[in-house]
């Protein structure tokens, strides 16, 4: 099925790994390497998808782990030349669909505090900021915002995450 005109979203396969690793190198200062990505192909806790252009080339990818019924987004990235066409949103919606189908209680992720574009995307999809991990990122060092989409309003969740400072409702 085409999520965005000319773009198909499919499960990540071995034939996509090299292109996804290249995308990682292009987008992140501490990229995932081929071996780590390849491991996810057989990881029963992983849900990784790629967006393919009409020629079958990788335009973007997104991945999530199902950890005891909660979805942890590992990454989402789109090639610079393919951005602002709805591909990132379609990839995230695919992860959210997976979360719903698998009855995950919530989906959560970390994002650099300065990454306004990604934060806008997540907010558009109903994620809210629930906390901060001070100095979480390296190269350059930066805080991570913790953003969560909580389907079942489980108020116990924030207290269960270690090493994070959470916002109180008054903040």
Ligand X SMILES: CC(C)(COP(=O)(O)OP(=O)(O)OC[C@H]1O[C@@H](n2cnc3c(N)ncnc32)[C@H](O)[C@@H]1OP(=O)(O)O)[C@@H](O)C(=O)NCCC(=O)NCCS
Catalytic machinery residues? 110, 122
Q: Which residue stretch of 32-40, 75-83, 132-140, 158-166 sits at the interface with ligand X (rule: CB under 6 A)?
A: 75-83
Determine, following the binding rule CB under 6 A, whether residue 95 of this chain makes contact with ligand X: no
Dist CA 159 CA 64 (whole Å): 21
Instruction: Kindly tell me which residue out of 84, 103, 139, 141 binds ligand X, with binding defined by CB under 6 A.
Output: 84
How many residues lie near ligand X (CB under 6 A)? 19
Determine, following the binding rule CB under 6 A, whether residue 58 of this chain makes contact with ligand X: no
Number of alpha carbons in the 13 Å side-chain half-sphere of residue 164: 19
Instruction: Kindly tell me which residue out of 102, 120, 135, 152 binds ligand X, with binding defined by CB under 6 A.
Output: 120
Smaller CB distance to ligand X: residue 37 or 78? 78
Smaller CB distance to ligand X: residue 22 or 44? 22
Determine, following the binding rule CB under 6 A, whether residue 147 of this chain makes contact with ligand X: no
5 to 24, contacts with ligand X by CB under 6 A?
Answer: none
164, burial (CB in 10 Å: exposed 0-12, middle 13-18, buried 19+): middle
Q: How far is the CB of 78 from ligand X (least distance, A)?
A: 4
Alpha helices (runs of H) in the chain, residue ranges in sequence order: 17-27, 34-40, 87-101, 116-124, 157-160
Dist CA 139 CA 146 (whole Å): 19
Where are the extended beta strands (E) located within the chain?
2-4, 7-11, 46-52, 58-67, 70-78, 106-112, 128-137, 142-150, 165-166
Number of alpha carbons in the 13 Å side-chain half-sphere of residue 4: 22
Q: Which residue is nearest to ligand X (CB)?
A: 88
Q: Which residue stretch of 5-13, 32-40, 115-123, 135-143 sits at the interface with ligand X (rule: CB under 6 A)?
A: 115-123
Instruction: Kindly tell me which residue out of 38, 83, 105, 133 binds ligand X, with binding defined by CB under 6 A.
Output: 83
């Amino acid at each position: 099925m085409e999520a965005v005109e000319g773009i198909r979203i499919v499960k990540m396969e071995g034939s996509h790994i090299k292109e996804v690793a290249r995308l990682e190198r292009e987008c992140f200062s501490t990229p995932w390497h081929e071996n780590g990505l390849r491991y996810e192909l057989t990881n029963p806790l992983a849900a990784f998808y790629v967006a393919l252009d009409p020629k079958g080339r990788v335009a973007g990818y997104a991945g999530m782990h199902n950890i005891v019924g909660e979805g942890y987004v590992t990454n989402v990235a789109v090639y610079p030349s393919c951005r602002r066409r709805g591909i990132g949103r379609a990839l995230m919606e695919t992860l959210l669909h997976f979360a719903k189908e698998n009855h995950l209680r919530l989906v959560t992720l970390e994002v650099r505090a300065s990454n306004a574009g990604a934060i806008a995307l997540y907010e558009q999809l109903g994620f809210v900021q629930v906390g901060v991990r001070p100095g979480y990122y390296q190269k350059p060092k930066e805080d991570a915002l913790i953003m969560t989409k909580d389907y079942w309003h489980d108020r116990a969740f924030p207290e269960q995450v270690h090493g994070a400072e959470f916002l109180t409702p008054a903040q």
